[in-house]
């Protein structure tokens, strides 16, 4: 991490499986990755799409990650590969690495109950609450203002950013990261009607988040009424997402901001759900399905299928409908024209029949 | 609360008005309620729908709450009733009860101003702020990280989960529960245009939440510009809900996650608003109305009416339109076919007329 | 600020450029502004729309801001002008002013690192974290529970309400106000696929918020992967808004609750985006454009254009389509009728042809 010579970066990419060609100054030392617009001398940038190759003329970057056949102006070194975006990701990780957290050790101003177990090398900030019987693994980082309720369990290498709230009995696997303000394991909307009134059903299940899950900021993941709400290993959430009670999400899903999934729904593995989409409760979404932005899913989705629209339909049907709706104003006009034509034909035929009758 | 024999549970349900029949071991002691999948020996589960009766064969539950005519395999005790879901709710309340909160008394590490009045038996955690002239009733529970602004009023038995923020002058009735991260009484989006700039209008009204309201996690309820934003008694909110300034919501409403209601709208009593629905400002929603998920309500709704779609329409109209749109691609094809047919007819008629003319 | 005689208020409005006429008691002292319903003796209210002039008969307000030709009942003083709403805004500012914050000075119970620089006249509450190398301007107010990460920069007169989280390296200009629970500069949803797994791309850019921006409660504004996410000066945000990584928003925009804008999109100046609208990534929204509530924007918008619907279309096209869809069920019926008519015509013609053939 830190400064790196271009030749060293090229070697690193090659050893990591990305065949590449360095054209320019191998000894040039770069210290940061940046956009073409913002990059300064000593920084490396990238060109994701060859059609914007003109932009290389305006950048102050010293080096650029480009495609196989992209040409850079004189004075800019390039690393050419078939996958410049992948080269970018690897370069960011190599040059910048991941966030270095503040180091608090276990702060004396954290409120940690005696019955709580905290593993070695913990990094717990002032103003954190760790309640009764909580069990925490090794090397966790917990920022200020986080609250961890009674009997909750956190695995190793968990990171909770500021003001995260983990309700009682929730379980987080290892390498789970939760961004600021998210809430895990709050009560779901469970009420039984008694006349016009609503009687609260105690939510006695819990929320379980498996290994390697990342959750964005200000999300809410309900605990289950009974049993478990589950977020499968490796799934990644953006911000302001709401997951209902008892819903089970598979591994390696990608869920974009402001998605809402109602209770008791099952989402398969490696499902992508785009921004602001909503999914009703008590249905099943198959593995590798894709839900488009703002879609409203009201019925099961088969594995691998892409749906869009509200109510959501498989992409071919939905597109046909959307195009048909766009043509609808024209259709209305054409329909009126056809009606008129039929009326005229009818008149012609009737006139003709009248003539014939007269002639007979 | 806690362990209970099946016979005792059956009696309790009967005394609470739910006629039932216990078949199996009356002395069996159950200690928890769970789902059919997750239940273990000594736990009771439920079968909400007779069509899934096969699942009873796979459960490890010792007892199950079932419908009148559901048959369980040997070895599983059942309590039969006409309303197994109601039986479930009552059993959860009986066996598990509601959450037992940590007990902090009034923490010395809470920041409570001298001018604030706090009623007896308060349970206020470290890291709570209670500002000037706040008045708090009896037996409240306030978790860490909550902030209560100047002149706010909280009734008896209020529960604020971690990191709830109550802005100055907000009023909460008795038995109000607010889940983690929700914000009550922040300024609404009140700006006056002066040329292209926006001048802030001080928001000098307040937010008032009546008795027995539950608010989920990470909601935002604006204060009014003038007067009051009001949430009626007994209404229940899920998570990530936005209520605009000056909006008034009636009693016993049920509002699902990610709903947004703009300012100065009036919602009647016992209205249900499903997930991600949006309601514009300055309109009226009648009592007992229902707004479907993702609906976009742009005009008043009469009492008792269900609306769906965006823009929202009464259910019969909306469904007719949705079905018509689904048929639209076929209609386009049929229309082209009919056009061709009319063209052919016209040609036939013209040919016939020409023949006749020739023949004459 | 505070009490003011009506004559003094009238003079103030006139001097501020709002021509007006006071009819009633010039010496009447008013102490607050309120709605017509809630106003009491000694308060001033307003009538925004002359068609509701009857309401003046029921108010207890002592004075009302009205339009040029509105007549009030005896006993109510009025200030008449061409712009009663503007008069209201100015009167609220004059009589009530903006919120007076609690005064903490720089609390000894705030956790401020030695490397942090805090300008004069700071007002920093207990339970605030100010991390390494943070730079803070003059006269800031930071409420309890706020977290400011390493290397962040805050300008003068910044206000952070409770539990706001500013991630490392974020930059806030002067007079920026952020309401409770909002999160600035969290990592965006940046992952590279490696087989079915997602590898995190370090988000090494930052979030920059320019002068005079207001952000509502529980919003989330991602940092950029590289470079900057930017919110232009004077823009105003409501609550629960999500801004994706690398997105750039121009000055003086008005963004309503629950809007989501994906990453790498550019929004021009003075754009209005209504509630729950969503905008995809990597597009451009022109200056002075308007996006309607719940719209789903999937392509560039030209300056000054208003779009609605999902997918969004310019207002004229969208309205035509919406009206056409509303008429679609009728069109289907009419189409069936026309089909039948054509069929009948065809039969007539065929019968006629058969007759002719027979006759020949």
Q: Flag whether C106 is in a domain.
A: no
B243: preceding bond cis by omega (within 30 degrees): no
A331·B326 Cβ contact <8 A: no
* Pairing relationship of beta strands B272-273 and B254-255 according to DSSP bridges: parallel
Collapsing DSSP states into helix, strand and coil, what is residue A102?
coil
Give pLDDT tens digits for C179-210. 999 999 999 999 999 899 999 999 999 999 99
Which residue(s) pair with A220 in the sheet?
Answer: A183, A242
Confidence band for C358, pLDDT divided at 50, 70 and 90: low
Per-residue pLDDT, C348 = 85
**Which tokens in the block code for residue B84?**
């197994």
**Cβ neighbours of A313 in B, within 8 Å:** 326
A238·C321 Cβ contact <8 A: no
pLDDT at A179 over 90: yes
Q: Which of B171, B144, B167 is nearest to B158 (CA)?
A: B171
**Cβ neighbours of A218 in C, within 8 Å:** 181, 183, 218-220, 240
State the DSSP string of A137-168.
-SS-EE-TT-EE-TT-EE-TT-EE-TT-EE-T
Tell me the three-class secondary structure of B254-321, residue by residue.
EECCCCEECCCCEECCCCEECCCCEECCCCEECCCCEECCCCEECCCECCCCEEECCCCEEHHHHHHH
Confidence band for A128, pLDDT divided at 50, 70 and 90: very high
**Cβ neighbours of B163 in C, within 8 Å:** 145, 163, 181
Per-residue pLDDT, B236 = 98
CB contacts < 8 A, A to C, total: 191
Give pLDDT tens digits for C130-175. 999 999 999 999 999 999 999 999 999 999 999 999 999 999 999 9
B204·C163 Cβ contact <8 A: no
Alpha-carbon distance A70 to C95, whole Å? Answer: 64
Alpha-carbon distance B234 to B174, whole Å? Answer: 11
B297 and B176 assigned to the same domain: yes
B218·C216 Cβ contact <8 A: no
CB contacts < 8 A, B to C, total: 192
Alpha-carbon distance B243 to B260, whole Å? Answer: 6
B226·C38 Cβ contact <8 A: yes
Higher pLDDT, A348 or C88: C88
Alpha-carbon distance B34 to B44, whole Å? Answer: 6
pLDDT at C357 over 70: no
B161: preceding bond cis by omega (within 30 degrees): no
A293·C311 Cβ contact <8 A: no
Smallest CA–CA distance, residue C126 to chain A, in Å, is 10
Confidence band for A358, pLDDT divided at 50, 70 and 90: low
Q: Which helix (H) or strand (E) holds C207?
A: strand C206-209
C180·B196 Cβ contact <8 A: no
Interface partners of chain B (CB pairs < 8 Å, 3 or more) are: A, C
Q: Read off the CATH number of the domain in which A215 is found.
A: 2.160.10.10
Nearest 10 degrees: Cα torsion C94, C98, C100, C105: -120
| Domain boundary residue, one of B63, B95, B127 | B95
Asked if B83 and B69 touch (Cβ cutoff 8 Å), the reply is no
Asked if A152 and A170 touch (Cβ cutoff 8 Å), the reply is yes
When scoring B239, B249, B324, B330 by the number of chain A Cβ atoms within 10 A, the one with the most, hence best to mutate, is B239
The shortest CB-CB distance from B214 to any of A200, A294, A348 is to: A200
- For residue B90, give every residue at least 6 positions away whose Cβ sits within 8 Å of its Cβ, in sequence order, or none: B12, B13, B16, B18
pLDDT at A103 over 70: yes
Supply the range of the domain harboring residue B344: 326-360
Backbone dihedral region for residue C212 (phi beyond 0: left; psi -120 to 50: alpha; all else: beta):
left
C311: preceding bond cis by omega (within 30 degrees): yes
Interface partners of chain C (CB pairs < 8 Å, 3 or more) are: A, B
Per-residue pLDDT, C360 = 52
A336 and A221 assigned to the same domain: no
B308 and B211 assigned to the same domain: yes
Q: How many other CB atoms are there within 10 angstroms of residue A280's CB atom?
A: 21
Q: How many other CB atoms are there within 10 angstroms of residue C12's CB atom?
A: 16
Q: Flag whether A155 is in a domain.
A: yes
pLDDT at C1 over 60: no
Extract the runs of DSSP E, i.e. beta strands, from A68-149: 77-81, 111-112, 117-118, 123-124, 129-130, 135-136, 141-142, 147-148
**Residue % of chain C over a pLDDT of 70:** 98
Smallest CA–CA distance, residue A238 to chain C, in Å, is 6
Collapsing DSSP states into helix, strand and coil, what is residue C107?
coil
Give pLDDT tens digits for C266-313. 999 999 999 999 999 999 999 999 999 999 999 999 999 999 999 999
B98·A218 Cβ contact <8 A: no
Smallest CA–CA distance, residue B320 to chain C, in Å, is 6
A189·B252 Cβ contact <8 A: no
B142 and B201 assigned to the same domain: yes
B181·C163 Cβ contact <8 A: yes
Which residue(s) pair with B229 in the sheet?
Answer: B207
Smallest CA–CA distance, residue A348 to chain B, in Å, is 8
Interface partners of chain A (CB pairs < 8 Å, 3 or more) are: B, C
Ordered per-residue pLDDT tens for chain B, 360 residues: 579 999 999 999 999 999 999 999 999 999 999 999 999 999 999 998 888 899 999 999 999 999 999 988 988 999 999 999 999 999 999 999 999 999 999 999 999 999 999 999 999 999 999 999 999 999 999 999 999 999 999 999 999 999 999 999 999 999 999 999 999 999 999 999 989 999 999 999 999 999 999 999 999 999 999 999 999 999 999 999 999 999 999 999 999 999 999 999 999 999 999 999 999 999 999 999 999 999 999 999 999 999 999 999 999 999 999 899 888 989 989 999 998 988 988 888 888 777 766 665
- For residue B75, give every residue at least 6 positions away whose Cβ sits within 8 Å of its Cβ, in sequence order, or none: none
CB contacts < 8 A, A to B, total: 194
Domains held by chain C: number: 3
Q: Which helix (H) or strand (E) holds C13?
A: helix C6-15
When scoring C238, C273, C296 by the number of chain B Cβ atoms within 10 A, the one with the most, hence best to mutate, is C238
- The C-alpha angle A5, A11, A15, rounded to 5 degrees, equals 145
C239·B242 Cβ contact <8 A: yes
Phi, psi angles (nearest 5°) of residue B81:
-155, 170
Alpha-carbon distance C296 to A349, whole Å? Answer: 51
Q: Which helix (H) or strand (E) holds A325?
A: helix A315-359
Q: Which of B305, B307, B287 is nearest to B296 (CA)?
A: B307
pLDDT at A31 over 90: yes
Smallest CA–CA distance, residue B309 to chain C, in Å, is 11
Q: Flag whether B320 is in a domain.
A: no
Give pLDDT tens digits for C25-75. 999 999 999 999 999 999 999 998 888 899 999 999 999 999 999 988 988
Q: Flag whether B39 is in a domain.
A: yes
C257·B260 Cβ contact <8 A: yes
- For residue A295, give every residue at least 6 positions away whose Cβ sits within 8 Å of its Cβ, in sequence order, or none: A274, A277, A278, A307, A308, A309, A310, A312
State the DSSP string of B91-147.
HHHHHT-SPPPP--SB-TTSEE-TT-EE-TT-EE-TT-EE-TT-EE-SS-EE-TT-E
- For residue B193, give every residue at least 6 positions away whose Cβ sits within 8 Å of its Cβ, in sequence order, or none: B199
The label of the residue with tokens 């709706």 reads A325
Using CA coordinates, name the residue in chain C closest to B335.
C335
Alpha-carbon distance A347 to B4, whole Å? Answer: 85
A86 and A118 assigned to the same domain: no
**Which tokens in the block code for residue A318?**
């939905």
The shortest CB-CB distance from A202 to any of B93, B180, B338 is to: B93
The residue count for chain B: 360
Alpha-carbon distance C64 to C50, whole Å? Answer: 12
**Cβ neighbours of C252 in B, within 8 Å:** 196-198
Nearest 10 degrees: Cα torsion C55, C60, C62, C65: -30
Among the listed residues A98, A101, A179, A245, the single catalytic one is A245
The shortest CB-CB distance from A227 to any of B34, B275, B352 is to: B34
Q: Flag whether B357 is in a domain.
A: yes
| Domain boundary residue, one of B35, B62, B95 | B95
C122 and C255 assigned to the same domain: yes
| Domain boundary residue, one of C31, C61, C95 | C95
**Cβ neighbours of A346 in C, within 8 Å:** 341, 345
The shortest CB-CB distance from C127 to any of B127, B168, B220 is to: B127
C270 and C217 assigned to the same domain: yes
- Asked if the interface predicted TM-score (ipTM) of this complex is over 0.85, the answer is yes
The shortest CB-CB distance from A216 to any of C219, C220, C338 is to: C220
C349·A349 Cβ contact <8 A: yes
Q: Read off the CATH number of the domain in which C19 is found.
A: 3.40.1390.10
A310 and A266 assigned to the same domain: yes
The shortest CB-CB distance from B96 to any of A163, A202, A348 is to: A202
A66 and A122 assigned to the same domain: no
Q: Flag whether A72 is in a domain.
A: yes
Per-residue pLDDT, A120 = 98
For C28-70, where are the alpha helices, taking DSSP H only?
Answer: none
Q: How many other CB atoms are there within 10 angstroms of residue C157's CB atom?
A: 19
B147 and B41 assigned to the same domain: no
Smallest CA–CA distance, residue B186 to chain C, in Å, is 7
The shortest CB-CB distance from B163 to any of A163, A219, A338 is to: A163
A272 and A127 assigned to the same domain: yes
Using CA coordinates, name the residue in chain B closest to C337.
B338
Per-residue pLDDT, C353 = 74
pTM (whole model) above 0.80 = yes
Confidence band for A139, pLDDT divided at 50, 70 and 90: very high
Among the listed residues B98, B101, B179, B245, the single catalytic one is B245
Buried b (16+ CB within 10 A) or exposed e, B192-203: beeeeebebbbb
Q: How many other CB atoms are there within 10 angstroms of residue C357's CB atom?
A: 8
A193 and A277 assigned to the same domain: yes
């Amino acid at each position: 991490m830190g400064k790196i010579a271009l030749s060293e970066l090229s070697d690193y990419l090659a050893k990591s499986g990305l065949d590449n060609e360095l054209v320019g100054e191998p000894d040039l030392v770069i210290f940061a990755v940046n956009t073409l617009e913002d990059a300064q001398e000593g920084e490396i940038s990238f060109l994701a799409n060859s059609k914007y190759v003109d932009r290389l003329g305006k950048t102050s970057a010293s080096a650029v990650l480009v495609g196989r056949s992209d040409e850079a102006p004189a004075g800019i070194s390039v690393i050419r590969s078939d996958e410049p975006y992948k080269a970018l990701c690897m370069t960011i990780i190599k040059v910048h690495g991941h966030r270095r957290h503040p180091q608090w050790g276990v702060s004396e101003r954290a409120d940690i109950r005696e019955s709580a177990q905290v593993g070695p090398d913990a990094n717990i900030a002032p103003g954190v609450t760790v309640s009764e019987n909580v069990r925490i693994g090794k090397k966790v980082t917990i920022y200020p203002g986080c609250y961890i309720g009674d009997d909750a369990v956190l695995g190793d290498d968990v990171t909770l950013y500021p003001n995260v709230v983990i309700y009682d009995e929730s379980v987080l696997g290892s390498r789970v990261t939760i961004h600021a303000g998210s809430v895990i394991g709050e009560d779901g909307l469970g009420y039984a009607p008694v006349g016009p009134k609503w009687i609260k059903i105690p939510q006695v299940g819990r929320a379980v988040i498996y290994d390697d899950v990342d959750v964005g900021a200000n999300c809410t993941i309900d605990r289950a009424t009974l049993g478990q709400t589950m977020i499968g290993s490796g799934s990644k959430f953006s911000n302001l997402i709401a997951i209902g009670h008892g819903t089970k999400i598979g591994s390696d899903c990608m869920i974009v901001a402001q998605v809402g999934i109602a209770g008791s729904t099952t989402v398969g593995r490696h499902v992508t759900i785009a921004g602001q989409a909503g999914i009703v409760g008590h249905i099943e979404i198959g593995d590798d399905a894709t839900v488009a932005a703002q879609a409203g899913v009201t019925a099961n989705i088969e594995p691998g299928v892409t749906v869009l629209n509200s109510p959501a339909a498989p992409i071919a049907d939905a597109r046909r409908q959307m195009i048909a709706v766009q043509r609808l104003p024209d259709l209305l006009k054409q329909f009126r024209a056809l009606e008129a034509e039929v009326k005229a034909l009818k008149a012609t035929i009737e006139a003709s029949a009248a003539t014939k009758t007269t002639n007979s």
